[in-house]
Amino acid sequence: MTAPPSTTLTDHVTGTVNGIGESTVRPDGIPKLQGSFAYASDLETEGMLWAATVRSPHPHARIVDIDPGPALAIGGVHAVLTAEDVPGRLLFGLEHPDQPVLASDVVRYWGEPVAIVAAEDPETARIAAAAVTVEYVVLDPLVDPEEADTRDEVFRRIRIRRGDQDVRGSVVVEGVYEVGMQDQAPLGTEAGLAIPDGEGGVDLYATTQYVHADHSQIVASLDLTAEMVRSHPTGIGGAFGAREDVNLHIHLCMLALYTRRPVKQVYQRSESFTGHVHRHPARLRYRHEADEDGRLVRVEADVLIDGGAYASTTSAVLGNACYFAVGPYKCDNVNVDGVGVRTNNPPCGAMRGFGAVQVCFAHEAQMDRLAAALDMDPLELRRRNALATGDALATTGQRIDTPLPTREVIDSLVAMPMPEDDDSEDPLRLPGGTGLTTERRDVRRGVGYAFGIKNLGFSEGSDDYAQARVLLSPQGAIVETAAIEVGQGLVTVVGQIARSALGIGNVEVRHIDTSRIGSAGSTSASRQTQLTGGAVLAAATALRDRVLTEFAGEYLDDDGVWRDGELVVPYAELASGGWEETTTFRHPPTEEPDENGQGTLHADFAVAGHRAIVDVDVGLGLVRVVRIDTAQDVGKALNPESVRGQIEGGILQGVGLAMMEELIVEGGVIRNPTFTDYLLPTVLDAPDVEALLIEQEGSWGPHGAKGVGEPPTISSTAAVAAAIREATGLALPRVPIRPEHVALEGGV
């Protein structure tokens, strides 16, 4: 019964080196295209039950009574569990355990889990969930973030004071900006299978970005020893931050242990929209002051993000928003006040860009306003202020000691050829597309630039590390890691790193559970290629060195150990020797901020720039994003094709935020938790992308690699907004920019 479902994340390329710098084909690519790849939602095992969640229909209410009776009376229903059935710690949370596994007395957001059900099939489970009777006394929800700030309902406040607060510039621009609540909307919804081991423990296979963090939270809530719970990596269809937090994990383990049966659950799309955290909506007030030459003299920012009902990663997201509030620019006098408030809105947490996206939209709008006020080319303004290696980060004062090619990013982006003017009347090349709304004569073209910066890896003093193991087996070299592949291509790149380091082409990457290896940390913060890649490089290099030393060899390959052109130890012999190496890799240490927000808070940074070219139908406010050009600081492109994949996908997610992606929350209730109304760009909305990879070695990542996952999303939104402003002359202080904001005078 406990036969584990197999995951098929293997990399088994024989005979070729496929090392770093090559665009090795991803091992999971073809199976995913053919539909044979097993995602978490595909897992099954004998005797499996199905779970469903009872969720609160109110954003804020007191629970008076929960009656499982009507649900239990339905044939095929095996369990209805509530907060009373949580064996251990009721609360969980990635940074601060403040969120109930199941709400016990009060519900604090719309869709909060109140009870869980297990039944013979998914349909019965859903019917049973609807039959659980919960009596509520509805309370007033706190949904206005500014009111929450006033009432001091906050997760964190940050105060940054750097330089001389009395200095003033002669040219001043001010602005207030707003960013809507974006959702990660991964195509694979939350799914998992928990299998009891018959000895009181449990194996969990579930969508995640961070199995070890899940594991420690599950253990605490189940009140089991660490050994009794094993959290396994599995096939995951996208994440973008939505899977850092626990959602169905503890529920499934509870139901499996209670029913002594394997229990599976797959969230439906609407449930997914309430079952994971979102990107923080933000309100940003800025004041930029410059001298006559356009040098930034002082930047002041008020950053307000709405964390929703529970902490999740709001503290860290707020940190990023504040630390990158000035963007990739120098400025010696900075004043930032940030607050992450607690409301009865949906909980927000990690999403690609993690706070840097929201402030980038604002600081780039400000830079364009400043350029206009100075009557200066906006790119020249940015060049004059470009942050470089050796400079201090404007907010925290940290001296940047890894390569930071801001200037190169600006210059090479500007040098990329512009597309020709388009005179085509093909509807697919016009705003409105096949809707036939628009002819070429209705269109104005706009071009906009934006630049962004973000940290790589965990910051603010966290002990950020990844463990990996490399071993030699008869089937070839094997890399073992608990790092999560969510589709980004980690499985490909760590295989490449191991091949190059070992000299062995036959490398398989295995994603293994929490009992068999130490943490790799989260697949987030653009960190796995640097951290897990770093661990694999160190382990593979050490293993090779030990083997060569042992046999006085010169090099190693798939045939074995070589010396003086002769094979001295055949691989088969080597493989039976039990050779393995486990390494933990840490990035340079960081500090917590002092009372003024100062310190060496970050381990590494990346910059990127985007140039958006848009066609705007001003009369109807419809926009076609024609093309986005980008230059990105990547350190070293270990797999250029994979890097481009991240760039194209990240840009499209940025375009989505600029143009359409927003969860509309009214009175704490999400009005559009479906793909009918939460609109993602389709292929007909996707711009062409030209990407230039800026390689500068010197970062601590393997072979100088930097994380590449988030930078494409940071400034692409701001660039699209800038381009629409250029085409229309409108201020457009909010994203997503809706047709009414462009078409109606006096729109937002």
Residues lying near other proteins in the complex (CB under 8 A) are found at: 130, 268, 428, 432-437, 439, 442, 619-622, 624, 659-660, 664, 666, 671-672, 676-677, 679, 681-685, 738-740, 743-744
How far is the CA of 243 from the CAs of 257, 356, 460, in angstroms? 23, 19, 22
Minimum CB distance to other proteins smaller for 438 or for 632: 438
User: What are the strands, taking DSSP E only, across 492-565?
Assistant: 507-511, 555-557, 560-563
Which tokens is 691 given?
A: 């990407």
Min separation Cβ 198 and other proteins, Å:
37
Nearer to other proteins, 442 or 641 (CB): 442
Sequence-distant (≥ 6) Cβ neighbours of residue 359 within 8 angstroms: 282, 284, 301, 303, 321, 322, 324, 325, 327
- The span from the CA of 666 to the CA of 662, in Å, is 12
In whole angstroms, what is the distance from residue 543 CA to residue 244 CA?
Answer: 32
- Is the dihedral angle over the CA atoms 317, 531, 276, 101 positive or is it negative? negative
Cα(614)–Cα(625) distance, integer angstroms: 4
CB of 51 to other proteins, least distance (A): 18
Token code pair at residue 523: 């697949």
Nearest distance from residue 663's CB to other proteins, in Å? 10
Least CB distance to other proteins at residue 684 (A): 4
* The token pair that represents 317 in the structure block: 């997201």
- Mind giving me the DSSP string for 599-614? S---S-EEEEEEEEEE
Which string of DSSP letters, residue by residue, matches 437-489?
---GGGEEEEEEEEEEEEE-S--TT---EEEEEEEEETTEEEEEE-PPPSSSS
Q: What is the DSSP string of 538-559?
A: HHHHHHHHHHHHHTT-SEEETT
Beta-strand pair 49-55/263-266? parallel
Minimum gap (Å) between residue 439 Cβ and other proteins: 8
Shortest Å, Cβ 639 to other proteins: 31
**Least Å from the CB of residue 664 to other proteins:** 5
439 or 463: CB nearest other proteins: 439
- Residue 472 bridge partners (DSSP): 477
Smallest distance from other proteins to CB 432, Å: 7
Q: Which residue's CB is nearer to other proteins, number 173 or number 185?
A: 185
> What single string gives the DSSP state of each residue in 385-432?
HB--TTSBPTTT-PBP-S---HHHHHHHHHHSPPPPP-----GGGSTT
- In the complex with other proteins, the residue whose CB is nearer, 434 or 549, is 434
Using the minimum distance from each CB to other proteins, give the nearer residue, 73 or 744: 744
d(CA 120, CA 627): 50
Q: Using the minimum distance from each CB to other proteins, give the nearer residue, 100 or 681.
A: 681
CA angle 209, 668, 190 (to 5 degrees): 25
Q: How far is the CB of 18 from other proteins (least distance, A)?
A: 37
Is the distance from CB of 506 to CB of 14 less than 8 angstroms? yes
Shortest separation between residue 360's beta carbon and other proteins, angstroms: 23
- Closer by beta carbon to other proteins, 432 or else 702: 432
Q: Considering only the C-alpha atoms of the chain, give the largest distance between any 2 of them, rounded to a whole number of Å.
A: 82
* Nearest residue (CB) to other proteins, 104 versus 672: 672
Q: Any idea what the Cα angle at residue 112 is, between residues 111 and 118, rounded to 5°? A: 95
**Which one, 154 or 748, has the nearer CB to other proteins?**
748
Query: Any idea which residue has 């007395």 for tokens?
Result: 105
CB of 678 to other proteins, least distance (A): 10
Considering the complex, state which of residue 480 and residue 661 has its C-beta at the smaller distance from other proteins.
661
> Of 134 and 160, which CB lies nearer to other proteins in the complex structure?
134
> Shortest distance, CB of residue 494 to other proteins, whole angstroms?
36
